Amino acid sequence: MTTKEQNELLTRTDKGTPMGELFRQYWIPALHADELPENDCPPVRVKLLGEKMVAFRDTEGRYGLIDEFCPHRLASLYFGRNEDCGLRCSYHGWKFDVEGNCTEIPSDPDKEDFRKTLKLKSYPLIKVGDILWTHMGDAENRPPEPAWEFCTVAPEQTVATKRLQECNWLQALEGGIDSSHVSFLHSMELERDPLFRGSKGNKYNLGDLRPVFEVTPSAGGLYIGARRKVENGKNYWRVTQYVMPCFTMIPPRGDHPQHGHFWVPIDDENCMTWSYDYHSQRPLTFEERKACLDGKGVHVAVIPDGSFRPLQNKDNDYLIDREAQRRGETFSGVKGFGMQDASLQESMGPIVDRSNENLVPTDKGIVMTRNMLTKAAEALRDKGTMPPGREPEHQKVRSVSIVLEPDLNYADACKDEMVAGEGKARVSV
């Protein structure tokens, strides 16, 4: 059982908290690159790990992520003017560069010494793939740039979306590593969704509703293996990759694109769910890319107002259709894989009290993930030990779906297949 004390440690991510400091040791997704499409474009509000910031792209194309509030009278720099290599506060014209340095105080141009003492909190913002990433920890402990395969393949092979999820990051993550719910919550849509249908693995998912979980530590996190019985006494394995602190990769189905998520804390009661689809060996088809952007597969359609809030949300009960539920068109009455997950994760409340849970053997991956996160956060706090998942070799991973003989250990049998490589064939059923 997870105690209230451990639950507090796992769920709180403000600066100075053990889990907040853990997250600050990684590059995390902050923005789509097209949210800052050109030099001197309007700034964008960003909230991560409880910190309110603005991101902007200056006259020379440099990206900045700085404290939202001008140190003069604390007006929001979101309303500032992005011009001449800096963001100028609209209130009194104080100006700041991408590193947070105050470069101009128009009302007191002679107070050079005072101006130089003014520096907003700032974090690096780099483009890898179509995503802008930030590292919010100490510069001396900054890890190598992100090396995830989905953001290093050719642009035509990948697509990423994001959406607001109105609950704590951990209950969202835990849904992403829980393979047993697929046979129930998503069961009636596996053959209708264009990014899933036609896979032989769908039949295996629905043919054995009692998967056996085997969880194995990896260099960067965990291999979470779900074993189901299939014909000829063999086993169908779906092996999810979990990499610290919040990356998941879901096992592929047939030749469909591979997919997964990042679950990034906005604050303790909200997270940004990043979802990606990519194929390591070919470009995505027009239909596959459109399906992702339309909210199919693991993606979600959002309100087109810049909030990234889903069209289906708690205010409209996720547009639940009880008749569709009764007729067997959907198991829960909520349409779409992503919103089926989010609706139930949000239904637990902003931060679920895990001390009231009653866990079973299929929750082994969740238990081991909580323990790994707890130990890593405590080791960082108490000993300064850097956590796993920061190195390129930890990130160049693949999940697999495969049929194996019953005497084979999945972690040994799939050791090579779970490592990403350019041009390398992937393993999928």
CA distance 369 to 160: 25
Same domain, 98 and 247: no
What's the confidence (pLDDT) of residue 315?
98
pLDDT level of residue 272 (50, 70, 90 thresholds): very high
Q: Does residue 90 lie in a domain region? A: yes
pLDDT level of residue 179 (50, 70, 90 thresholds): low
CA distance 429 to 186: 18
Could you give the angle at which helices 169-176 and 4-11 cross, rounded to 10 degrees? 90
Q: Does residue 12 lie in a domain region? A: no
pLDDT level of residue 189 (50, 70, 90 thresholds): confident
Residue 109 has pLDDT above 70, yes or no: yes
CATH code of the domain containing 343 = 3.90.380.10
What's the confidence (pLDDT) of residue 183?
67
CA distance 355 to 258: 34
CA distance 216 to 207: 25
The residue out of 111, 141, 171 marking a domain boundary is 141
CA distance 316 to 303: 13
Would you state the structure tokens that stand for residue 354, as one six-digit string?
A: 């895990």
- Residues paired with residue 138 on neighbouring β-strands, in sequence order: none
CA distance 417 to 402: 10
Quick one: average pLDDT of 370-381?
Answer: 98
CATH code of the domain containing 125 = 2.102.10.10
Same domain, 109 and 198: no
Same domain, 311 and 336: yes
Residue 245 has pLDDT above 70, yes or no: yes
**What is the percentage of the chain residues whose pLDDT exceeds 90?**
89
Q: Does residue 272 lie in a domain region? A: yes
What pLDDT, in 10s, does the model give residues 327-358?
988 999 999 999 999 999 999 999 999 999 99
Same domain, 136 and 160: no
The residue out of 114, 141, 168 marking a domain boundary is 141
Q: Does residue 422 lie in a domain region? A: no
Residue 1 has pLDDT above 70, yes or no: yes
Same domain, 187 and 284: yes
**What is the percentage of the chain residues whose pLDDT exceeds 70?**
100
Quick one: average pLDDT of 249-278?
Answer: 97
- Residues paired with residue 228 on neighbouring β-strands, in sequence order: 236
Amino acid of residue 63: Y
What's the confidence (pLDDT) of residue 207?
87
The pTM (predicted TM-score) of the whole model is 0.95
What residue numbers bound the domain in which 168 lies? 154-413
Neighbours of 31 (CB within 10 A): 20
What pLDDT, in 10s, does the model give residues 54-89?
999 999 999 999 999 999 999 999 999 999 999 999
Same domain, 287 and 352: yes
Q: What is the largest CA-CA distance in the chain?
A: 84
pLDDT level of residue 210 (50, 70, 90 thresholds): confident
Task: Name the average pLDDT for the chain.
Answer: 95
Quick one: average pLDDT of 222-250?
Answer: 96
DSSP 8-state secondary structure symbol assigned to residue 227: E
Q: Does residue 419 lie in a domain region? A: no
What's the confidence (pLDDT) of residue 162?
98
For the CA atoms of 333, 335, 337, 341, the dihedral, rounded to the nearest 10 degrees, stands at -50
Q: Does residue 425 lie in a domain region? A: no
What's the confidence (pLDDT) of residue 72?
97
Yes or no: say if 296 and 336 are a contact pair by the CB < 8 Å rule: yes
Same domain, 67 and 174: no
Q: Does residue 259 lie in a domain region? A: yes
Same domain, 388 and 306: yes
The residue among 207 and 169 whose pLDDT is bigger is 169
Same domain, 136 and 169: no
Same domain, 119 and 165: no
CA distance 223 to 401: 12
Q: Does residue 147 lie in a domain region? A: no
CA distance 30 to 243: 18
Same domain, 48 and 83: yes
What's the confidence (pLDDT) of residue 110?
85
Q: How many domains does the chain have?
A: 2
Same domain, 89 and 168: no
Residue 180 has pLDDT above 80, yes or no: no
